[in-house]
Chains A and B, each alone.
Chain A
């Protein structure tokens, strides 16, 4: 009886994991397919053709480039803003702090349809032409929240007397920030910016509202379902997957190393 229960539990776990990872596996697998027609939906034969020419389709290549540019720019801006918001919220008590806390959570809980459509109506009211800049603005908007909340969670235990110590030794405010505060909270900021980058790269709904005639990678994939679905889409998706896994692994290793070096000094103080 007991053994049966164990099997059941293992079985359910495997099914659940399969449910999560099967789609990813299929995408990776089909990047090696040699489809019969325009649509890469049925397995035909193994081929490295798509991996040899990942940028064979101009429009696909352009959409990927656009997505990366949007992600890079919005991540940069959101990381800077989000970090300063997090620092201000942890560091100082000021009027409106709780209101800002609430506003930070709002973009996370509001449905994307609402965010996307309201942004679009704002842009239309302002007579702004939707395109690259509106996509970037929209992505910054939701990324700032994620960055601020992630960084804030990571710097809760930051020992602010370190800043006093630096000031005491003759460092002005800029030197204190760049030589002491920033290096110590950097792992949290890196983690937050990776999250923002990933969110920007795969955002569909908000982007759809605000993209104008520009086509990001997710928009291209969605559109490709009608005309043609080449295995290059799978190749690029797999490449993104690999890149994020590698970055994640590297970050984890780096953070473990820093923590080990800092030893007990990072432990929360009594």
Chain B
């Protein structure tokens, strides 16, 4: 069985497209990898495989273990337990200079005393590739990253985005089995970052090498990845395609970290293999897919619905599947109206109301009904910690603010 799911995932994702990564031949496999620093557990039970040619992201807040996992794959750290297998060989104890994976560092780490060309040539020269082949690779990669005319410059004479591309070319010059990228766009401003996202994806397609990409930026991960591993406090919470992660989050944490999610406390009333009926807002019965988490009648649960999947109506829905709410406030945001609602039991709900929904003016205090299509809801294990989601709201905010204060090109 290919190692594609994490053993401790609370609910295995309902694979929308199971063929994607599972069908690829694995190039890197992490087997029950654990990393401790003293008594601190940095990574627990990382157990997954990354396919050849895949764009694989590790996404999570700072301190979630994503960079440590990357450093173990690169060879800068050794796993405390478990194995890392690269192309069929156990490399857990192999030093970085004998593994054919290369890293793009967060702050590029370009050699300041060497020209751009010498930086790119450093890898092949270290591996005793001939002079002719080395210069062929340098030309090739500087062309790929569109920096051929800067070959003789020193890194200090280049802009941040150009340095970024030199770092990329340098890391690709050994023709690695996988390229590891540690938040490589973190130091760039928003506009450049968006341009580089497209650029990275193009380069990855062009060279066809596996990219393992570490980021805390969900948008970046969603934009570029074939698959994403969402990490939290050293655990891999879920691995899946961007669509799976967004539409079928496996936990409250994942739902909260990716996009905006309504997390409605619920009690399971009845569940068969495919569907479940839950009670929300005190007394309203709603239908949701049962999902992979095995719900027992009477158990506490969380129902997740994305704001854009909520239907708002003035009257109670005909099938009785609806929750009465009142409008708290509504903000016009262009494509949608962002509407904050409150249910009778105090649960706050956010809905994105598109122009296709005909509603009276959304004045505060207006009574409405919300409902959703069966496949729009997700039944998740209860948000036991509750505070679990809090740091991420903060992290997200901080991130947004950081962006706003960055200089524009």
Contact = CB atoms under 8 A, between A and B. Distances in A.
A62 interface: no
A262 B156 CA distance: 4
Nearest to A163: B109
Interface string A164-175: 111111111001
A161 B107 CA distance: 9
B113 A262 contact: yes
Contacts of B110: 165, 265
A164 B76 contact: yes
Interface residues of A, number: 26
A168 B103 contact: yes
A237 to B, nearest CB: 37
Nearest to A260: B156
Nearest to B153: A261
B277 interface: no
A159 B107 contact: yes
A162 B96 CA distance: 13
B170 interface: yes
B97 A265 contact: no
B79 interface: no
B57 to A, nearest CB: 20
Contacts of B109: 159, 161-162, 164-165
Contacts of B76: 164, 168
Given A167-B96, A170-B97, A170-B127, A266 B156 contact: yes
B174 interface: yes
Contact of A165 (B103, B113, B173, B174): B103
Interface residues of B, number: 29
By CB atoms of chain B within 10 A, which of A165, A172, A260 has the most? A165
B51 interface: no
Contact of A175 (B95, B102, B126): B126
B156 A264 contact: yes
B282 interface: no
B270 interface: no
Interface of A is mostly: helix
A249 interface: no
Contacts of B112: 184, 261-263, 265-266
A155 to B, nearest CB: 13
Interface string A246-266: 000000000000101111111
B122 interface: yes
A161 B154 contact: no
Contacts of B102: 168-169
Contacts of A184: 111-113
A269 B107 contact: yes
Interface in B249-299: none
Given A161-B109, A162-B111, A265-B112, A168 B157 contact: no
Contacts of B127: 170
Contact of B126 (A169, A261, A262): A169
A164 B156 contact: no
A165 B103 CA distance: 7
Given A184-B112, A265-B110, A168 B156 contact: no
Given A161-B109, A162-B109, A266-B112, A167 B122 contact: no
A167 B122 CA distance: 10
B107 A168 contact: no
Contact of A170 (B74, B111, B113, B123): B123
B105 interface: yes
A180 interface: yes
A265 B105 contact: no
11 contacts: A164-B76, A165-B103, A166-B126, A168-B75, A168-B171, A184-B111, A184-B112, A261-B112, A262-B155, A265-B112, A265-B155
Interface of A: 159, 161-162, 164-172, 175, 179-180, 183-184, 258, 260-266, 269
Closest 10 CB pairs of A and B: A263-B156, A169-B123, A170-B126, A165-B109, A262-B112, A171-B126, A262-B156, A161-B109, A265-B112, A265-B156
